[in-house]
Structure 1
Amino acid sequence: MSDIGYFTWDLATEHGDAPCLRDDHLDLTYRQFADRVDAFAAQLSEQGVGKGDVVAVMLPNRVELLVVLMAAWRLGAAATPVNPTFTAVEAEYQIADAGAVLVVNEGPDAPTAGRPSIAVDEMAASQPSGPTPGLRPAGSDVALLIYTSGSTGRPKGVMLTHDNLQFMSSSLAEHLSLTTDDHCLLVLPLFHVNAICVSFLAPTLAGGQLSVTGRFSPARFFDDVARLRPTYFSAVPTIYALLASQPEEIVTDTSSLRFAVCGAAPISKELLDRAEQRFGLVIVEGYGLTEGTCASACNPPAGVRKLGSVGPALPGQTIAIMDDSGALLPPGAVGEVVVRGANVMHGYLGRPEETDRTIVDGWLHTGDVGRLDEDGYLTLVDRIKDMIIRGGENIYPKEIENALATHDGVLEAAVVGAPHDVYGEVPVAYVVTYPDSPVTEDQLTEHLRDRLTKVKLPVAIHIVDALPRNPVGKIDKPGLRSRHRPQPAATRG
């Protein structure tokens, strides 16, 4: 692989006083960002952080989160971003599983899993006297541990190297034709690799800039676009649905936007068309996995876009369709989507068997079903896995089922996704209780509140006498899902 090009200490030499990063509290040039990174790297070094260590960062979107990532890399360490809305149980599992030696968070009440911590307000902002601690990480060094829930319900740490991140960010910069004139408005959470690659590394690699916005709302979004004049942003279908549903009398100035990216969940052709017409905007739909360092396919902003498809493979990647025997299928055939390229993860942390099941002969098995057309454009057909995508957030039913099972009154539980107009899908639970158990739906919901992030809470919990099963005795989840599909109108004979 070529040398890593996104390190801030190198970019500062090239871009110096050009604008780099801002949020509601800070506005930094490339040089100022590099100085902040060096200052915090020195602080981390004083705490004993060094090459091969892992630093956990549990912060909402703000400039300091990116300072932590880059400062960890300055020392040859890796970073694991933790969802700031996690419960203590969820956060401490990730911090411990990642083997983090230190946590950067919002203060004394935040979970640390017993590790030392630095509060965000205590982060050093100026460099102490003496040499800058630092080394140049190798491309093969692990840079990020991004956690993704597995079908077992236990989140797994996806190991992404600097080579992975360099390949992905440079590929995105090329595909999206990013230059020093580009300015990304960040609206997605930075504990996802999408935001780190599409909104942070790709534009800074091109010498552009990033504005970190606060908690998303349509009013805040339109104000930020008019005030900051970004050239692009990346979002999920739920955000486009919220933007497109704003009253027509709301006058918005989106003229600075060159394009927008949509990913993380399928978007309907109707919504895509409505959002494009409303804002006079090119929206390119993409597709990828955390295990593939964010993105593998994307429609081009300039070029042939095929609505309903997620576009062709990004530069340097190969997408194919495979049958159950491992044979590659011709265009038009339906099968499992597999991906190959320098974007494929190093593996799952501490889970070599799962890594070997997911990456076979260099092919990343996505668990998604799709087909390629003659031009290499990918259309997703279905998902092999039971994963629920709620507003762009991946939710695995097994994790919710495991949490329900910790209640003494629960005998069995099954969770499926139900269609939702705004979020795409929402989780719904079916529970069988022990005989004569007095447990209620409200009690089960309350039981889950301390165990699951709000987004994972089922919108409904149905207590039933028995769960439907297929002929081999497995719970019939397709049957449960079908209960939530709109039923066709009856025809008269």
Structure 2
Amino acid sequence: MRLTRIGLGDVVAVMLPNRVELLIAIMAAWRIGAAATPINPMFTANEADYQIADSGAELVITATADAPSGGRAVLVVDDLATAPPTDPRPGIDVAADDLALLIYTSGSTGRPKGVMLTHANLQFMASSMGKNIGVTGADHCLLILPLFHVNAICVSVLTPLLVGGQVSVTGKFSVSRFFDDVARLRPTYFSAVPAIYAMLTSQPEDSSIDTSSLRFAVCGAAPISKELLDRAEQRFGFVIVEGYGLTEGTCASACNPVDGVRKLGTVGPALPGQQIAILAEDGTFAPVGTAGEVVIKGDNVMRGYLGKPEETAKTVRDGWLHTGDVGVLDEDGYLTLVDRIKDMIIRGGENIYPKEIENSLATHPSVLEAAVIGAPHQVYGEVPVAYVVAYPDAPVTEDELLEHVTALLTRVKVPVAIYVVDALPRNPVGKIDKPGMRRALSATPAH
């Protein structure tokens, strides 16, 4: 191993699956004034080398010596010290605005961007989220999301640790082990994405499943249908609160409360210390009940994109983080997401939001998940096409689904085609890969 000394202002890349050493490495970097950039351990060498080079990492901590390193110094995780040194280096007093994490976006619109999150961002987020969901020192989080994503780091790790709670790290998520872990470890909450709730609820009924220790769960990263939320809550008997946020906002900006008014179909009100507003097309703040772009302000807003000042200036303006999401606030400040601006389908000049079609499909009892995208069309420009995953015990035909949504939607919103598929493609953080789906369709325009 080529030795290198890491210190204040350096970046350490950590490319490991979920294991406690990953967290130890991140926190060790913080102790000596360095920042960390966690890398998806499933990345190809090309993907990993890009993040290593772009982040300027001086050291890469990996599972094996032959893992991608971008030519940097490598420390294999099994070679980490197992006992304290006789002359430990003193910790560094880092400033609140010092860089703590570089989390890379999924790159769905181009090369991934490094989101710069400071120690102040992380401290604020863990505190804000903890207050909203009522986490105390008595709570115990079961970590199931990947630690290269900010959701796992903030909601599942930093939030409970900040108040003296507990975290259990059990490795990569699997449905069968999840129930075993819950019964054995007795966690009080966990955070997951809709795909995981879909997998859990699609399992055969089993009277031996014991989820009694769980008092709530969090759902984020992508919208979840009311139907799936209801089914999961009824099946397992614990509250599921839906939240919303971006990596650029250090994970979360809104969440339904665990104890308080929950409004299904919304992602809740702004978290403590944050503001959420809706911008009209003319750039003014829209009134209650009016759809527009969701903007966020608070100490959770990122420092910026690494090395991309122009991109940063487009995204953060006058302290407001422009999310690219369309939403509506009600009179109580609860946010309902309409869709992504970039996902909007323009059919012959008519604006169509895929989420409205997906929600209509989700009301069919056989539908587990649905994704709607715009397919190129020679006459209309774009037309909606739907992909549906059915529950294993509830097969459904494409004609049945078409008949179902035709009764719920105006003609222009009815998909020109509905395909029943085994699974929907996903990006590394579990979101449905709509950009990839659109690319696959672009070569075959609809007629």
TM-score of the pair, normalised by structure 2: 0.79
In the comparison of the two structures, how many residue pairs are matched?
374
Aligned to 1:113: 70
Alignment pair present for 1:219 and 2:176: yes
Residue 233 of structure 1 aligns to a residue whose secondary structure is strand
Preserved CA contact (<8 Å) 2:144 2:192:
yes
Q: 1:38-57 maps to which residues of 2 (within 5 A)?
A: 47-57=4-14
> What amino acid maps onto 1:56 in structure 2?
A
Deviations 1:169-198 (A, max 9, x none): 011111111111100000000000000000
State the alpha-carbon separation in 2 of the partners of residues 300 and 420 from structure 1.
Answer: 30
- Equivalence for 1:85: 42
SS of 1:121's partner is: helix
Task: In structure 1, give the amino acid aligned to 2:12.
Answer: V
- Contact 1:104–1:117 (8 Å) recurs in 2: yes
Task: Work out whether residues 170 and 202 of structure 1, in 8 Å CA contact, stay in contact via their aligned partners in 2.
Answer: yes
Note the C-alpha offset of 1:462: 5.9
What is the Cα deviation at residue 323 of structure 1?
1.3
Match for residue 185 of structure 1 among 142, 155, 168: 142
Q: Which residue of 2 aligns with 1:419?
A: 387
Unaligned runs of 5+ in 2: 345-353, 356-372, 374-381, 392-426
2:129 is equivalent to residue 172 of structure 1: yes
- Residues 19-98 of structure 1 mapped to structure 2, 5 A cutoff: 47-98=4-55
Which one of 307, 311, 329 corresponds to residue 372 of structure 1?
Answer: 329
How many Å apart are 1:420 and its aligned residue?
Answer: 4.0
> What code does the residue aligned with 1:332 have?
G
How has the CA–CA distance of structure 1 residues 328 and 422 changed in structure 2, closer, same or farther, with 3 Å as cutoff? farther
Distance (whole Å) between structure 1 residues aligned to residue 141 and residue 429 of structure 2 = 28
| Rounded Cα–Cα distance in structure 2 between residues aligned with 1:162 and 1:463 | 42
CA drift at 1:461: 8.2
Q: Which residue of 2 aligns with 1:281?
A: 238
- 1:338 and 2:295 matched: yes
1:198 to 142, 155, 162: 155
Distance in 2 between the 1:198 and 1:312 partners?
17
Q: In the alignment, is residue 291 of structure 1 matched against residue 248 of structure 2?
A: yes
**1:111/1:333 CA distance change after superposition, 3 Å:** same
* CA displacement at 1:105 relative to structure 2: 0.3
Q: Contact 1:238 / 1:422 at 8 angstroms: preserved in 2?
A: no
SS at match of 1:56: strand
2:103 to 146, 154, 160: 146
Q: Which one of the candidate residues 184, 206, 211 is aligned to 1:249?
A: 206
Task: Return the letter of the residue paired with 2:335.
Answer: L
Identity %, equivalent residues: 68
Unaligned runs of 5+ in 1: 1-42, 390-396, 398-413, 424-451, 469-479, 484-493
Residue 400 of structure 1 is matched in structure 2 by: none
8 Å CA contact retained: 2:328, 2:338? yes
What displacement does 1:290 show? Answer: 0.1
Where in structure 2 are the equivalents of 1:215-364 lying within 5 Å?
A: 215-364=172-321
Give secondary structure in 1 for the equivalent of 2:12.
strand
Scaled by the length of structure 1, what TM-score is found?
Answer: 0.72
Question: Which whole-Å CA distance do the structure 2 matches of 1:104 and 1:301 have between them?
Answer: 37
Q: Cα–Cα, structure 1 residues 453 and 378, in superposed 2: closer, same or farther, change >3 Å?
A: closer
1:181 and 1:136 mapped to 2: Cα distance?
29
Partners of 2:428 and 2:156 lie apart in 1 by: 25
Q: Secondary structure at the residue paired with 2:233?
A: helix
Relative to 1, partners in 2 of residues 1:462 and 1:270: Cα closer, same or farther, differing over 3 Å?
A: closer
Q: Would the alpha carbon gap of residues 463 and 84 (structure 1) be closer, same or farther in structure 2, given more than 3 Å must change?
A: same
Q: Which amino acid aligns with 1:273?
A: D
Deviation at 1:215, TM superposition (A): 2.1
- Distance, in Å, in 2 between the alignment partners of 1:372 and 1:284 is 18
Task: Describe the superposition over 1:41-84 as per-residue Cα deviations: whole angstroms up to 9, x where unpaired.
Answer: xx99x731000000000000000000011000011000000000
Between 284-293 and 103-112, the greater mean CA deviation after superposition? 103-112
**Cα distance change, pair 92–317 in 1 and its aligned pair in 2 (3 A):** same
In the alignment, residue 421 of structure 1 is paired with which amino acid?
V
1:69 and 1:372 map into 2 onto residues whose CA distance is 37
- Alpha-carbon RMSD: 2.7
- Whichever residue aligns with residue 184 of structure 1, its letter is C
User: 1-side partners of 2:115 and 2:82: how far apart?
Assistant: 30
* Partners of 2:40 and 2:428 within 8 A in 1: no
Residue equivalent to 2:405: none
Contact (CA 8 Å) 1:52, 1:76: kept in 2 or not? Answer: yes
Q: 1:89: Cα distance to partner?
A: 0.4
